[in-house]
Chains A and B, each alone.
Chain A
């Protein structure tokens, strides 16, 4: 109906081409299999092509202090440069260790009692190292948050008293940007996590805890809603069967709240990923955020293109994380009909 309205509106302008185009777009092309393939592959491709075209045309209009705003070609070129840099760095690293081993072998040959050491390589992290760091950080923060949030959500969903107890705290902290926590987290981690030979870097902990803080709330709230809105008939079934509390929770309450739980988890992971990048920029913690910030400070003529590579990669990873959660949801949830968008 809405498309028809649209057509009528445009008809008023008497643009014949536009009229035909809109008419074509509004028609249903699902009739043939070929039509389906064209729709599901062709349309997104055309859209991306239009986007790239607009990008390259519009970017050329913008002059910054770092030169022209990079278009798709420049960004692609820098992406390749980043790959090459990564390879070169890896080769340097291997060569570094090979040299050490050779030297040590020589030492041991002349004097078997000699004390040999392997020094760690201390080259700067490449773009891909930063991606890996960010991924590990977000995964850690998200896992910790989920391990805390799901049990809390289940418990407060089942008990009205606990819900009333937790609700004000959740409502108060939910809207706080986790970046506001960053200074506090940094200070607490520095004060509490004191060890001579730390297993985790402090910066890693700070970033991960910040992610945890923002991943908690959507999961808690959605899990609690899922748990408390179990179909009343199913609860009656458990009453008639006189199921013990634990059986009822495992067999009825948890499975029926899984779809909501996953909704919370997906929201959490999405927010966590966005927040992590910001936290890394702000706190200069290793990761993609730091990469972006370093390039910004670096200010070379390639910086903007390199930042754009990072932006696209961040977007792509965020998308992949969400799809990953969806796959998990499909795997674990009984409700296979869940709309996946």
Chain B
């Protein structure tokens, strides 16, 4: 945890064009992240968490302000900022191995020999405990396993920053716990900087160094930042009775349910604001929307 200003978001704002003119989804987001830090983004659906992540990934461009990684401005997506997508986004026609290979070949072209590339892919499969499903295609493995492969694909690119958009959102509680443990293990070993979006308060407290809580949109911004000063490695069972853990947990819950009420609750007090909020969820890259769609279609 040296090298300050490893990753820096400076007064980031983004407008999305709508029929009624530009709609400001995010405003004045400022965040400095150290190398190796684990950051969780938490907030209600439609508050722009995914948009922040997409801006860091380079998939969206900020209208104002910008992102600087190691002294260079982020202007396009790149493998040094690997993304673990919410729905894994593995190519259905490739095996687990080939899915990872696609990224590895792109990143290590000319840097690693063929044997080294093969070993590196197998090493990464091992890291997420998926060596047994090396040659299975995504439709032949479970949701949790797909997400593991998705994480392996991202890790195999040796990213400086790992961006995770609700990586465990669609998984059952048990699988989720397993993957959280794997992720902590991997983070302890590799020390990547991680930004993770989550809806799960326990997950945020368990995994993060800092929890970034976002206010509701429109013009969403960072409401509060909570530093989680729990020693690592963390044990979920031991922490369940830990007073500080529960304090952090209730702090996040208070923020979410008292200071920032759900957008639906606001509907009763101020109709126009609610209308704008629902407008916000039509924007591209909104995690909640895609999650809802997936629930419907799945």
A and B associate: yes
Closest to A233 in B: B89
Given A251-B102, A334-B137, residue A239 in contact with residue B91 (CB < 8 A):
no
Tell me whether B189 is interfacial, beta carbon within 8 Å.
no
Tell me whether A237 is interfacial, beta carbon within 8 Å.
yes
- B138 CB to nearest A CB, Å: 10
B residues near A337, Cβ cutoff 8 Å: 139
- B212 CB to nearest A CB, Å: 22
A residues near B92, Cβ cutoff 8 Å: 256, 334-335
Chain B 238-263 near chain A by CB (<8 Å), digits 1 or 0: 00000000000000000000000000
Given A251-B102, A334-B137, residue A240 in contact with residue B91 (CB < 8 A):
no
- Which stretch (B18-26, B76-84, B118-126) binds chain A? B76-84
Tell me whether B59 is interfacial, beta carbon within 8 Å.
yes
Judging by beta carbons under 8 Å apart, are B106 and A241 in contact? yes
Given A233-B87, A251-B102, A334-B137, residue A240 in contact with residue B81 (CB < 8 A):
yes
Query: Among B57, B94, B137, B139, which residue has its beta carbon within 8 angstroms of that of A240?
Result: B57
**In chain B between 7 and 63, which residues have their CB closer than 8 angstroms to a CB of chain A?**
57-59
**In chain A between 72 and 86, which residues have their CB closer than 8 angstroms to a CB of chain B?**
none
Given A240-B78, A240-B79, residue A234 in contact with residue B59 (CB < 8 A):
no
Complex CA distance for A240 and B77, rounded to whole angstroms: 5
**In chain A between 207 and 265, which residues have their CB closer than 8 angstroms to a CB of chain B?**
231, 233-234, 236-237, 239-243, 247, 251-252, 255-256
Complex CA distance for A337 and B137, rounded to whole angstroms: 14
Closest to B54 in A: A236
Complex CA distance for A337 and B76, rounded to whole angstroms: 36
Interface size in chain B (residues, C-beta < 8 A): 24
Judging by beta carbons under 8 Å apart, are A242 and B59 in contact? no
Judging by beta carbons under 8 Å apart, are A237 and B91 in contact? yes
Complex CA distance for A270 and B255, rounded to whole angstroms: 63
Judging by beta carbons under 8 Å apart, are B89 and A236 in contact? yes
Judging by beta carbons under 8 Å apart, are A233 and B137 in contact? no
Judging by beta carbons under 8 Å apart, are B77 and A242 in contact? yes
- A68 CB to nearest B CB, Å: 57
- A130 CB to nearest B CB, Å: 41
Complex CA distance for A233 and B85, rounded to whole angstroms: 8
A residues near B103, Cβ cutoff 8 Å: 241
Judging by beta carbons under 8 Å apart, are A236 and B91 in contact? no
Complex CA distance for A240 and B84, rounded to whole angstroms: 10
- A193 CB to nearest B CB, Å: 42
B residues near A234, Cβ cutoff 8 Å: 89, 91
Given A251-B102, A334-B92, A335-B92, residue A239 in contact with residue B87 (CB < 8 A):
no
**In chain A between 249 and 297, which residues have their CB closer than 8 angstroms to a CB of chain B?**
251-252, 255-256
Judging by beta carbons under 8 Å apart, are A236 and B83 in contact? yes
B residues near A233, Cβ cutoff 8 Å: 85, 87, 89
Complex CA distance for A309 and B164, rounded to whole angstroms: 65
- A126 CB to nearest B CB, Å: 46
Complex CA distance for A247 and B102, rounded to whole angstroms: 9
- A201 CB to nearest B CB, Å: 42
Given A252-B91, A334-B92, A335-B92, residue A239 in contact with residue B59 (CB < 8 A):
yes
Judging by beta carbons under 8 Å apart, are A243 and B89 in contact? no
A residues near B78, Cβ cutoff 8 Å: 240, 242
A residues near B137, Cβ cutoff 8 Å: 334
Complex CA distance for A243 and B107, rounded to whole angstroms: 10
- B272 CB to nearest A CB, Å: 31
Complex CA distance for A237 and B102, rounded to whole angstroms: 10
Judging by beta carbons under 8 Å apart, are A237 and B106 in contact? no
**In chain A between 35 and 67, which residues have their CB closer than 8 angstroms to a CB of chain B?**
none
- A58 CB to nearest B CB, Å: 48
Complex CA distance for A242 and B92, rounded to whole angstroms: 19
Judging by beta carbons under 8 Å apart, are A251 and B77 in contact? no
Closest to B98 in A: A251
Complex CA distance for A335 and B157, rounded to whole angstroms: 28
A residues near B93, Cβ cutoff 8 Å: 255-256, 334
- A225 CB to nearest B CB, Å: 18
Closest to B57 in A: A240
**In chain B between 89 and 110, which residues have their CB closer than 8 angstroms to a CB of chain A?**
89, 91-94, 102-103, 106-107
A residues near B91, Cβ cutoff 8 Å: 234, 237, 251-252, 255-256
**In chain B between 157 and 200, which residues have their CB closer than 8 angstroms to a CB of chain A?**
157
- A247 CB to nearest B CB, Å: 8
Complex CA distance for A247 and B93, rounded to whole angstroms: 15
Interface centre among B57, B78, B85, B89 (most CB of A within 10 A): B89
B residues near A256, Cβ cutoff 8 Å: 91-93
Chain B 256-277 near chain A by CB (<8 Å), digits 1 or 0: 0000000000000000000000
User: Across chains A and B, which 9 residue pairs bring their CB atoms closest together, nearest first?
Assistant: A334-B93, A233-B89, A239-B77, A255-B93, A240-B77, A241-B106, A241-B103, A240-B83, A237-B89
7 contacts between A and B (CB under 8 A): A234-B91, A236-B77, A237-B91, A239-B77, A241-B103, A255-B93, A256-B91
- Known contacts A233-B87, A240-B78, A243-B106, then 10 further A-B pairs from the complex at CB < 8 Å, ordered by chain A residue: A236-B89, A239-B76, A239-B77, A240-B82, A240-B83, A242-B76, A242-B78, A251-B91, A255-B93, A256-B91
Listed in ascending order, the chain B residues whose CB lies under 8 Å from chain A are 57-59, 76-79, 81-83, 85, 87, 89, 91-94, 102-103, 106-107, 137, 139, 157
